[in-house]
Structure 1
């Protein structure tokens, strides 16, 4: 796995250069607006619960790796509760009719976010090689480590406005994201590096890493576009895109 982990680290550094990250860091923008993409992330945040409980978690665990994945899936599979708490704290818990809700969650503006979730299900649901699932988990954790750090910085600013701790977007969630699978192993990095892969496994793992990072990058671009077009206090109203925002969107292919 050493070569695979090296690729993940390389892709992680590239992922850290996305326009979405720059947007989160821009303190000239109200922190509430920098998190205005939150509702558009709902299809993934809620699907991730099922991904962990229905796809990754397997009982009984027949080997150490599955035990590790089960521990990780149990922890990661409960973060959706924090997400809902934060949406409420941020003022998004208001009523819209059911048809409009469905149109929003399965609409064009959340298409990449949904595809990211679907692709993770597709890559893992019928995968017999547990090392490939481990590769996907490591890739997901790497993206989370980058994105949630920046999001937590914005949440610190938001807390000054709301006077509330935000469990999903704040520091407590980021603290759970070590960049590796969350399992009861003394030295996770060393353990993972010690795993030997065949050439065929290595090539497949490389492909999966590229796919996961591509999906997350496309989703972050979509979320950036959403935040630039929707005022945080009027989520379902699209505003005109400023020339600066338009240039940013053009740069990411929006």
Structure 2
């Protein structure tokens, strides 16, 4: 199992070198411009509770892998609410026609966010608990990298606005440890350390980790392309 975890870790630098992370970390750029990716992240952020509840979570067929996954999904359920609260604080909650909001969420500008949801769901939907664990662990690793960068932006905004941001700030980052979140870490760590992976499982795990990188690279690259854009640029209001 250690080889698989190391393979996940080997992607850290690749994620950190993507243009989006460089952009978010650039303190010379106005933090309002850097946080302007928020609307383009909306479909993904708001869909994630469904992915947790209906794709990752399985309360009927529970082994130790699935037990860890289930526990993590319940913790992760709150994040969509955090996103909505920050969206209001950022001044992005403008009144528009419902049809215009739908048009934006299903426009080409949000295509990468939608595809990331579809691709991630397709990857996990019929996977076994071991495979789901690998995908979720790889996903949490890149989540930690993204929210480490976003937290820096949020902290700069707090200095300017006096507002504290939950989803984009340290509160969320503290929940994104880079690993699946469970209460009894010692119990599960012992299980993972002693788990013997077959050659077939290892090969499949590497394939899934590669796939997760490609899914999120596509999303992050699109967020970078849209960085600095605003909803008004899309003539929504």
- Measure the CA separation in 1 of the matches of 2:79 and 2:138: 18
Matches within 5 A, 1:180-199: 180-187=179-186, 191-199=191-199
Quote how far apart the aligned CAs of 1:99 are: 2.1
Match of residue 236 from structure 1: 232
Match of residue 120 from structure 1: 120
Structure 2 spans left out of the alignment, 5+ residues = none
Give aligned pairs, total.
234
- Measure the CA separation in 2 of the matches of 1:176 and 1:15: 19
Match of residue 96 from structure 2: 96
- Measure the CA separation in 2 of the matches of 1:105 and 1:193: 42
Alignment RMSD? 1.7
Match of residue 165 from structure 1: 164
Shift in CA distance, 32/190, structure 1 to aligned 2, threshold 3 Å? farther
The answer to whether the Cα contact below 8 Å between 2:120 and 2:215 also exists between their aligned partners in 1 is no
Runs ≥4 residues deviating over 6 A: none
Quote how far apart the aligned CAs of 1:101 are: 1.2
Query: SS of the residue aligned with 2:36?
Result: coil
TM value normalised by structure 2: 0.93
Match of residue 155 from structure 1: 154
When structure 1 is superposed on structure 2, of 98-107 and 183-192 the one drifting more is: 183-192
Deviation readout 1:161-205 (Å, 9 max, x if unpaired): 221110000001101111111112334556434322211111111
Match of residue 109 from structure 1: 109
Match of residue 67 from structure 1: 67
Matches within 5 A, 1:190-209: 191-209=191-209
Structure 1 spans left out of the alignment, 5+ residues = 240-254
Query: SS of the residue aligned with 2:11?
Result: helix
The answer to whether the Cα contact below 8 Å between 2:45 and 2:80 also exists between their aligned partners in 1 is yes
Query: SS of the residue aligned with 1:93?
Result: coil
TM value normalised by structure 1: 0.87
The answer to whether the Cα contact below 8 Å between 1:145 and 1:177 also exists between their aligned partners in 2 is yes
Query: SS of the residue aligned with 1:178?
Result: coil
